[in-house]
Amino acid sequence: MLILWTQGDTNGIGSEVILKSFHRWRHSPHRAVVVGSYCMMKFYEKRLNLTTPLVEIESLNDIPMQEKTPDEPLYVLSLSCNIKANVGEIQADAGELSMKAVERAATLCLSGEADAMVTAPIHKEAIAKAGYPFQGHTDFLEHLSQSGRAQMLLCDIETNLKVALATVHIPLGKVSETLRASGLRPHLTALANALTKNFGIQTPRLAVLGLNPHASDNGVIGKEETEFLQPELALLKQDFCVDGLFAADGFFGAKRYKEFDAVLALYHDQGLIPFKMLAFETGVNMTTGLPIVRTSPDHGTAFDIAGKGIANEASFLSATHLAIQVAERRRQQLETTA
């Protein structure tokens, strides 16, 4: 399989985790190609003393046709060398390059020239400075692929924990009204479909967290649970194997997530904080609901440690392994239905 590694923000740790991943990836039968800046990859290779055979290419057609070997170089589909390194800094042209890399990789996946993409972290402020009206990878990929509904699904192979988010990058003050407008059904439908399509779970067991502390204690702490969440969930149990609403703190503390195939959290930090506590170095962010396979490590640009050689590549490698597993499953499904 051919996997595309997008470089992410060139002032963050993306280039470093890619270089480190390549050295652990060399014996894999699958080929990974970087999409980004060849010059910036060379900069970090020298700065971090990560001796890596880098080869610049202009097209995937420039890669030799023979099977991958352990001594094969790391090919870089270079989009620009007109960028200077400002390690750990927010920079508009770094934001622009990171998004152009995502766009190029997505286009190649949509055309079938590549099997999956794994994205190194981008920086929201940098892409905003570059003029992009997107919050991050998820909505940008939804736009590029013209898909109806993309969903963020956090996965950890080590613990088998999977967490989806009903709302993502919105202020807490807007979570309640957003959930009232959307309801739970579209999120549970997307989650169930993703588990079946990408992981082969035919009847997934789903858990839904409450919105308020203690899931409101029957309306004592907030009214959302009693007014619309619990009544809707009762109806949804006719169509899904779903349970809830669970108080988030006790749910994760008591490891109740082990009883389910996936958990639907109702807002960003409710799902992300416990997930990162449990799977910070191995967790993977997967965008479901797309016609292509996209995963990423579950960490950010880490400007504070960029260029210091101490970034951990474990999550990026986990993201690559998951991308291959999902791409292979999707290919098998297509062959079965053909």
pLDDT value at residue 279: 86
* Domain that includes residue 34, residue range: 1-147+293-338
Q: Supply φ then ψ for residue 204, to 5 degrees.
A: -70, 140
Residue 128 lies inside a defined structural domain of this protein: yes
Q: What are phi and psi of 75, to 5 degrees?
A: -80, 140
Q: What is the pLDDT of residues 239-291, one digit of tens each?
A: 999 998 999 989 998 999 999 999 999 999 999 999 989 887 788 999 998 99
The pLDDT tens digits of the residues spanning 112-162 come to 999 999 999 999 999 999 999 988 888 898 888 887 678 889 999 888 899
Same domain, 223 and 311: no
Confirm whether 267 is domain-assigned: yes
Same-domain check for residues 134 and 263: no
Spell out the residues 6+ positions from residue 139 whose beta carbon is closer than 8 angstroms to its own: 150
Question: Does residue 152 lie within any of the structural domains?
Answer: no
User: For residue 337, is pLDDT > 80?
Assistant: no
Same domain, 104 and 25: yes
**Within 10 A of 180 (CB to CB), how many other CB atoms are there?**
12
Whether residue 338 is predicted with pLDDT greater than 60 in this model: the reply is: no
163 three-state secondary structure: strand
One domain for residues 2 and 101: yes
State whether 140 and 235 are in the same domain: no
Residue 307 has pLDDT above 60, yes or no: yes
Residue 286 lies in a domain: no
Helix-helix angle 14-25:38-47, to 10 degrees: 80
Asked whether the predicted pLDDT for residue 55 surpasses 80, the reply is yes
Q: Residues 111, 103: contact at Cβ < 8 Å?
A: no
Mean pLDDT of all residues belonging to the chain: 92
The alpha-carbon radius of gyration of the chain (Å, integer) is 20
Give the pairing of strands 294-297 and 284-288: antiparallel
Q: Which of 250, 281, 312 is the last residue of a domain?
A: 281
Residues 4 and 94 in one domain: yes
One domain for residues 12 and 86: yes
Query: Where in the chain does DSSP place strands (E)?
Result: 2-6, 31-36, 54-57, 74-78, 116-119, 151-156, 161-165, 205-209, 241-246, 262-265, 284-288, 294-297
- How many Å apart are CA 175 and CA 177, to the nearest integer? 6
Q: Are residues 1 and 113 in the same domain?
A: yes
Rounded to 10°, the helix 314-337/185-199 angle is 80
Considering the domain architecture, whether residues 35 and 133 belong to the same structural domain is answered as yes
Checking if the pLDDT of 168 tops 90, the result is no
DSSP codes of every residue in 217-245: GTTTS-SHIIIIIHHHHHHHTTTSEEEEE
User: Which residue, chain included where needed, has tokens 């195939």?
Assistant: 261
The answer to whether position 140 is within a domain reads yes
- Residue 141 inside a domain? The answer is yes
Residue 73, classed as helix, strand or coil, is coil
Does 287 map to a domain? no
Which tens digit of pLDDT belongs to each residue from 84-102?
Answer: 889 999 999 999 999 999 9
Q: How many domains is the chain built from?
A: 2
Whether 9 and 120 share a structural domain? yes
Nearest alpha-carbon partner for 145 in 192, 196, 105: 105
* Tokens describing residue 196: 């079946």
Query: CA 75: distance to chain centroid?
Result: 23
143/178: higher pLDDT:
178
Do 37 and 93 lie in one domain? The reply is: yes
- Whether residues 9 and 127 share a domain: the answer is yes
Burial class (CB in 10 A: 0-12, 13-18, 19+), 313: buried
**More confident: 35 or 147:** 35
pTM (predicted TM-score): 0.90
Query: Quick one: angle between helices 137-145 and 92-110, nearest 10?
Result: 40
More confident residue, 164 or 159: 164
Angle formed at CA 292 by CA 287 and CA 297, multiple of 5 degrees: 40
CATH number at residue 335: 3.40.718.10
In a domain, 237, yes or no: yes
pLDDT for position 81: 81
